[in-house]
Amino acid sequence: MKELGSPRDAAVNPNRIPEGCEAMWKRRVVRIVSVTLAVLIGVPALGVAGLVLWDGGIDTDPRRAILRDVRIDLRTAMTRLGPVEYDLHGTEGPVLLSVHAGLGGADQGRLFAGWLQKDGFRILSPSRPGYLGTPLESGRTDEEQADLLAALLDELGIDRVGVLAVSAGSPVGYTFAARHPDRIWALVSIGGVSKPRPAGTGSPLRRAFLDTVGQKLARLTAEVSFETVVAGTLSETSTYTDGQRAERVSHIMNTPHVRELFKAMFDTTFPYQKRWAGTDNDAVQARRGKPPLERISAPALLIHGTQDGDVPFDHGKFAAERIPGAERYWMEHDDHLGFWLSPKASQAQAAARDFLRQHAPGE
C-alpha cells in the first residue's frame, strides 16, 4: 500500500456515532436553532409571523453562481434507469464525476470539485436520488445508484471518468468503481464512509420544525453571527480541543476565500426539504453493510483527517487496508472539512490533483 501522508491514529470521541456528513449538518442545524431560539424568546408574535413568511433568502435558480467563480447550470437527463439532474462544467478534457455528500446535491458536488475547474477537467456533478431534482425512485441502494451513474454516462456519451466521492457519497463511489471497472480511470475519496453505521435517533417533531422554520432560523443566525455557525459546525466535524477549535474558527473567519467557501457550503444544504429524502435514504443504506472495497481495481487515493469528528478516521484506515494498491493521504490534525477549509488544504488538493493527472486518459 502506498502512502502519501503520514498516518496517525485519531483521538475519536467515544460518545459520537459515526453517521456521515448528512448527520453532521442535522446536528449542527439543531445546535444553531437552539441558540437562535434562545435569542428569540420574548419576540413579539408579529416578529415570529414575519419569520414564518420570510422565504429564507434561498436561491434555487438552476442557473446560478454558488461561489464567485463557480456557477451551475442544472439540467435533467432521462436515462434508461430514470431521470437524473446534473451539472456539467467544461467542454474538453477528461471527465471527473463528483459524487456529493449528505444533505447535498449537484450544487454541492460542483462546489466540492471547484478546486479542479482550472486544471483541464470536465466536472460532472449529478444529484443523487432523493436530492434536489433527482427522484428517489431513480435508485435507492448503493448498487442502484452506481448503475444509475453508469446510465447517466451512457446518456451523455461519456466513456470513462475519474471519481471524486465525499463522505456519505463515498459508498456509492466505491460501489461504482467495483461494479463498473471499465468506466473509471481513478478514484479519490475524501472523508469517506466505508463501514456500516448504526441507526441514529430522530424526532418527527424536530424534523417538521426544521422543514418549516428551522432552516430560516439557521440562515438568520448566519446573518447575525456567522461565527456561531462556523463554531457550531466545527463542534460536529472535529474532535478538536477548545483551543484547536478556536484556532480553526479564526482561520475561517479571517481568511476571505475560506470564509466565502464555508458560506457556499452552508448554502448548498438549503432548502432542506429538497434534500431530506436522499439524506434519510443514505442513512438506511449505511446500515446495510460495507461497500465492496476488495473488488475495486481502479487506482485509488483515500484522503481523511485524523481528527474527523463526523466520519471517524477509522473509516479511512478501513478502506485503505482493503482496496488493493490504494494510496492514502492522512491530513494530520484536520477535521471532516479540512480538505477545503484547512490552512493545509492546498497541500492536500495538490496531492489529489497530481494523482488524478497521473491516471487521467492521455497523461
Strand partners, 125: 87
* Beta carbons within 8 Å of 17's beta carbon, 6+ residues apart: 23, 197, 198, 200
51: its cell numbers: 419569520
Single-letter amino acid, residue 42: G
Range of the domain at 160: 1-363
pLDDT at 213: 67
pLDDT at 15: 40
pLDDT at 222: 82
Domain count for the chain, please give it.
1
pLDDT at 42: 47
Q: In what order do the strands lie in the sheet with 82-89?
A: 2-3, 327-331, 300-305, 184-190, 161-166, 95-99, 122-126, 82-89, 75-79
Encode the chain (363 residues) as per-residue pLDDT tens digits: 545 554 444 334 434 444 455 555 556 555 655 555 444 444 454 455 555 555 566 888 999 999 999 999 999 999 999 999 999 999 999 999 999 999 999 999 999 999 999 999 999 999 999 999 999 999 999 999 999 999 999 999 999 999 999 999 999 999 999 999 999 999 999 999 999 977 654 445 455 555 656 777 777 788 889 999 999 999 999 999 999 999 999 999 999 999 999 999 999 988 888 999 999 999 999 998 789 999 999 999 999 999 999 999 999 999 999 999 999 999 999 999 999 999 999 999 999 999 999 999 984
User: How far lies 72's CA from each of 9, 90, 108, 230, 243, in Å?
Assistant: 38, 11, 10, 25, 37
Radius of gyration, CA atoms only, the chain: 19
pLDDT at 36: 52
Domain holding 329: CATH number?
3.40.50.1820
pLDDT at 55: 56
pLDDT at 255: 98
